Amino acid sequence: MTDIIKLLPDHVANQIAAGEVVQRPASIVKELMENAIDAGATKVELIIRDAGKNLIQVVDNGTGMSDTDARLAFERHATSKISTTEDIFKISTKGFRGEALASIAAVSQVELRTKTKDAKAGTNIYIEGGGFQFQEPIQTAEGSNFSVKNLFYNVPARRKFLKNNNVEFRHIIDEFQRVALAHENTDFELFHNDDIIFRLRKSNLLQRIIEIFGRKLQPLLVPIREDLGWIKLNGFVAKPEGAKKVRGEQFFFVNGRFFRSAYFNKAVQEAFEGLLLPGYIPTFFLFLELDFGKVDVNIHPQKTEVKFEDESLIFALVRSTIKRSLGIYNVAPSLDFEKDSAIDAFVHQKGNSGSYKSPEITVDRNYNPFTEEVVSAGEKIAMTDMYQQNTQAEPSKINLFEDEDFDEDLMRLPNGYWLFNKNGKTLMLDLGRMHRLVVSERNSRKKRGNEKQTLLFSLEYHMNETEKNKFRSIKKFLPDLGFEMVIANDNVLRIDAVPEGLKETQVMKFMEHLFEILEYRTEDEFLQFYQNQWNKIQSKSRFDFLYKHDAEQVIRDFTALGFPDYLPSGKRCFIEVPLDDLKNKF
């Protein structure tokens, strides 16, 4: 029998390994930036072209490498981070995966220029598709300068699966932000196609958060701090006003390393219980510090998932610390078991002698609201008819408008819902959802063009760098939608005109929604999301319907649509009240 098992050539093995480590340009950004931090850099510069597809360059002022180390760094399983198996379980650096640089070099063209502090000259190495090309001495600055060009040029099947530039660059920004947040004592710069995107100077954590996510977040941030000896928790959470419906500004770090955890996210969510509307996610920046041996970071190729020895204790710590901080800053109600001194002062003030006479209430125990003297004959007949109608009517298709008179068939409940009684059916209506369908149908029939209203005074929207990048990707659509806006200076977006029907008081919130919904979306999807947001902002909530004549009009419009049961999202617009079940409760 012919032998069929064989060893793979090194370049093939490296390309396969690259599938784990190098999923997209952002994967390389993460590896190279973390290596720069581990090298003790106080300044890191990230230069990107075409969302990293053609160039990813990381320049740092760290310790640099000798010519021998520089060459060995591109070999598989080469690392300066660990020596024994036990070292894996007490990793204090950002990474140790020895195949990272080898995998990157296997699917790109890599050039490294590096120099140590005491060396008279540096070294220049060039590797293409995993194949070593040359190494030579060179005059260069202290530190390391990695250039990764033409990613996946030799693996076209992988390259074609990369997303468009907006999506890939969004992922790069995510990785950049994670490293920058964890190292506020380091200077960071990010350039994309020669445009400066971030220029972050050494600062404290609060200032670093504001520099990245914008100054409008500053008044919303609540500090979090707890030290139990074996573990420390610090950072910030945003007040409920800073919560959003999409994920993005939720950051957990352990020992300076970003990680994801649905379990600990739940702890934060529970700390905000009763403070957020359904579907909203709190914004947080939380940092855990504990013994390296109590954390396992080697369970995911991207090192974004970690395992803790005492997960349940950390869960309780996160939840309780946040709840206490929210209470201290008067965000959440807190119970005060101390007696109010104002009450004591009132009790003992001169003339009271510490005694009171309880207020007296006179009750007529013979009063019966259903006696003949109270209820008129007409009212009795109406009540009887309503009862018989609700309990004896045969089930049938709802025919809501045999006439135009609602009589007393429509009633508002304190929770914003309305009860509607017609033809033997009693329905509980969510007029907000019904109105949204009416608005959506109305807008779909009306062609949107350059319908705009010029503002008497321009509005200014302060963007963070992420929003600024998103604005560039959607600005070509905005004039046709009725917007006139331009970046006036730095990160200030000046808004001169908005679509007709958009109130000035709604503009800022609407802009936030536009930037939010573009998260990891392509440009082609923007118009659909825009229309959804436009329908929402024109729609009223169920709490906005206070008057009967407004409710009647929505019911008429909704009936013209066929009285549909559900929104496109699957949420119900109304339910039928089970009157027989209610009757059995008496």
The C-alpha angle with vertex 14 and arms to 10 and 17, in degrees rounded to 5, equals: 140
pLDDT in tens, 52-101: 999 999 999 999 999 999 998 888 766 655 455 555 555 555 554 446 89
At 295, the amino acid letter reads V
Residue located via tokens 């206490």:
324
Outline which parts of the chain fall under CATH 3.30.230.10.
205-328
Outline which parts of the chain fall under CATH 3.30.565.10.
10-200
Sign for the pseudo-dihedral over CA of 77, 80, 82, 88 = negative
Q: CB–CB of 187/201 below 8 Å?
A: yes
In 363-519 the beta strands, taken as DSSP E runs, fall at 410-412, 418-422, 425-429, 452-462, 484-489, 492-499
Residue 585 is encoded by which pair of tokens?
A: 């409760």
What would you report as the CA-atom Rg of the chain, rounded to the nearest whole angstrom? 32
Taking the chain (586 residues) in runs of 10, the rounded mean pLDDT of each run is: 70 63 92 94 97 97 93 76 52 54 93 94 95 95 96 92 88 95 97 91 95 89 94 95 84 93 94 88 95 72 73 94 90 46 36 47 53 44 43 42 62 90 84 90 68 88 81 85 86 89 85 72 75 82 86 91 87 87 78
Q: CB–CB of 36/60 below 8 Å?
A: yes
Outline which parts of the chain fall under CATH 3.30.1370.100.
380-586
Q: CB–CB of 185/202 below 8 Å?
A: yes
pLDDT in tens, 395-445: 334 455 544 555 588 889 888 899 998 777 889 999 999 999 998 888 777
Domain 380-586 bears CATH identifier 3.90.1570.30: no
pLDDT for position 423: 73
Q: Is the pTM of this model over 0.85?
A: no
What's the CATH superfamily of 10-200? Answer: Histidine kinase-like ATPase, C-terminal domain (3.30.565.10)
Architecture per CATH, domain 205-328, reads as 2-Layer Sandwich (3.30)
Write the Ramachandran bin of 330: left for phi over 0, alpha for psi from -120 to 50, otherwise beta. left
pLDDT in tens, 447-493: 555 578 899 899 998 888 778 878 887 888 888 888 999 988 777 89
Residue 414 is encoded by which pair of tokens?
A: 């304190």
pLDDT for position 382: 45
Residue 173 is encoded by which pair of tokens?
A: 């920004």
pLDDT for position 84: 54
